[in-house]
Amino acid sequence: ETGVTQSPTHLIKTRGQQVTLRCSSQSGHNTVSWYQQALGQGPQFIFQYYREEENGRGNFPPRFSGLQFPNYSSELNVNALELDDSALYLCASSLLSSSGNTIYFGEGSWLTVV
């Protein structure tokens, strides 16, 4: 049990639509990161939020955006969906600190774009 929950678990969208994926982070964790994992690949870093501000971004276009809320929950929004956006989207939470490190993932949201 990681304490990180994601919703929905599966969804199907049409090309051009918009989608919002949600993540509830482990209590006390002040950073949340989102990853995209295409079939047969390792996860790719999309962006990270720390104290509700974007704190780093991978090689993803601006139509990928996010929010982090004061209760440590988070959203990933993708606009103008493309077929290549079909993937598993993973949320990870961690505590920004200098003492040890643990990064926990949720079970992911499977997105299919048709």
Residues that bind other proteins (CB under 8 A): 2, 31, 33, 35, 41-45, 48, 50, 55-56, 88, 90, 92-99, 101-108, 110
Question: Please, which residue, 103 or 114, has the CB nearer to other proteins?
Answer: 103
d(CA 60, CA 39): 17
Question: Please, which residue, 1 or 84, has the CB nearer to other proteins?
Answer: 1
| Nearest distance from C-beta of residue 114 to other proteins, angstroms | 19
- The burial of 30, by beta-carbon neighbours within 10 Å (0-12 exposed, 13-18 middle, 19 or more buried), is given as middle
Which residues make Cβ contacts (< 8 Å) with residue 31, sequence separation at least 6?
Answer: 48, 49, 50, 55, 93, 94, 95, 96
| Nearest distance from C-beta of residue 12 to other proteins, angstroms | 16
Instruction: Confirm if 35 and 90 have CB atoms less than 8 A apart.
Output: yes
Question: Please, which residue, 29 or 78, has the CB nearer to other proteins?
Answer: 29
| Nearest distance from C-beta of residue 85 to other proteins, angstroms | 16
| Nearest distance from C-beta of residue 45 to other proteins, angstroms | 6
Question: Please, which residue, 8 or 16, has the CB nearer to other proteins?
Answer: 8
Q: Which helix (H) or strand (E) holds 90?
A: strand 87-94
